[in-house]
């Protein structure tokens, strides 16, 4: 059964998609960008601040669905520039100190709203 997950503690979708969908014990979180849901705007401060906000958004959705970072099995990290990889990786790694998920990370030509990072997440119970 498909269940749509929504929390006001993460940014609303900016297109025809859900923040997350749960099906058969698997949670699929749409790519999260560094929008602060309290103000509805991209956070300032470069890749470190943006990655921190993305991880907060992911955490809010995980929590709403009854999951934690320990349940995450796969992440896909999209960067506007691979020169931001090390800084993104440091913030990302703070959430996965033990048994980190599988992951892909790569640069893309452009990201929504001109952000520096977007992270998609899959978690399983």
**Sequential pLDDT tens for the chain (125 residues):** 899 999 999 999 988 999 999 999 999 999 999 999 999 999 999 999 999 999 999 999 999 999 999 999 999 999 999 999 999 999 999 999 999 999 999 999 999 999 999 999 999 99
3-class secondary structure, 48: helix
pLDDT (0 to 100) of residue 14: 84
Are 33 and 113 in contact, with CB atoms under 8 Å apart?
yes
Tens digit of each residue's pLDDT (9 = 90 or more) over 16-50: 999 999 999 999 999 999 999 999 999 999 999 99
What is the model's pTM?
Answer: 0.97
Q: Domain range spanning residue 89?
A: 2-124
Burial of 1 (0-12, 13-18, 19+ CB in 10 A): exposed
Distances (CA, A) of 31 to 15, 98, 112: 12, 23, 10
**CA-CA-CA-CA torsion sign (20, 6, 22, 90):** positive
116, 124, 123, 108: which is closest to 52 by C-alpha?
Answer: 116
Query: Which residues, 6+ apart, have CB-to-CB distance to 10 below 8 Å?
Result: 19, 32, 37, 57, 58, 60, 61, 64
Which domain CATH number covers 11?
3.30.1330.40
The answer to whether 38 and 31 have CB atoms below 8 angstroms apart is: no
The single residue listed with the structure tokens 């119970």 is: 125
The total of structural domains in the chain comes to: 1
């Amino acid at each position: 059964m498909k269940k749509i997950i929504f929390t006001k503690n993460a940014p609303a979708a900016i297109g025809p998609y859900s923040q997350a969908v749960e099906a058969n014990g698997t949670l699929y979180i749409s790519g999260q960008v560094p929008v602060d849901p309290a103000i509805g705007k991209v956070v300032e401060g470069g890749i470190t601040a943006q990655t921190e906000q993305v991880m907060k958004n992911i955490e809010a959705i995980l929590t709403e669905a009854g999951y934690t970072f320990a349940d995450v099995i796969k992440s896909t990290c999209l960067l506007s520039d691979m020169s931001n990889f090390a800084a993104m990786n440091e913030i990302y790694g703070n959430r996965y100190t033990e048994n980190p998920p599988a992951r892909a990370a790569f640069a893309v030509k452009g990201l929504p709203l001109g952000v520096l990072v977007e992270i998609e997440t899959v978690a399983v119970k």
